[in-house]
Amino acid sequence: MREMVFEVLSEARGHICAASERGLRVEATCLEALHHEAREALIVSLGPAHITYRIRIRRGQAEPPPGGSPQALQQGGGSEAIG
């Protein structure tokens, strides 16, 4: 199975924006909706071949919140594969 990686470009409360290496760009209000939008973008772009791709949402390392610990970021950051 192939993989399509969407890198999170910006993330604010209620808004996430991500783009893939193929130039697909998606936006949503939460991570689950972002995955759905990424799948829809693949369907439009690739047609029936979209089923041969796994979607991975990759978040970059964020700055630690004031008073936050680096360990908390390591547990919550990284990439997530859904479906």
What number of other Cβ atoms are within 10 A of residue 7's Cβ? Answer: 15
Which pLDDT score is estimated for 67? 53
50 touches 43 (CB < 8 A): yes
Q: Pick the residue with more confidence: 45 or 64?
A: 45
41 touches 24 (CB < 8 A): yes
Average pLDDT, the chain: 83
Question: Could you give the domains of the chain?
Answer: 2-62+70-81 (3.30.160)
pLDDT tens digits along 48-82? 999 999 999 999 765 544 555 444 434 344 555 55
| Sequence-separated (6 or more) residues with CB below 8 Å from residue 1 | 52, 53, 54
Q: Of 13, 20, 21, whose CA–CA distance to 35 is shortest?
A: 20
Which pLDDT score is estimated for 62? 53
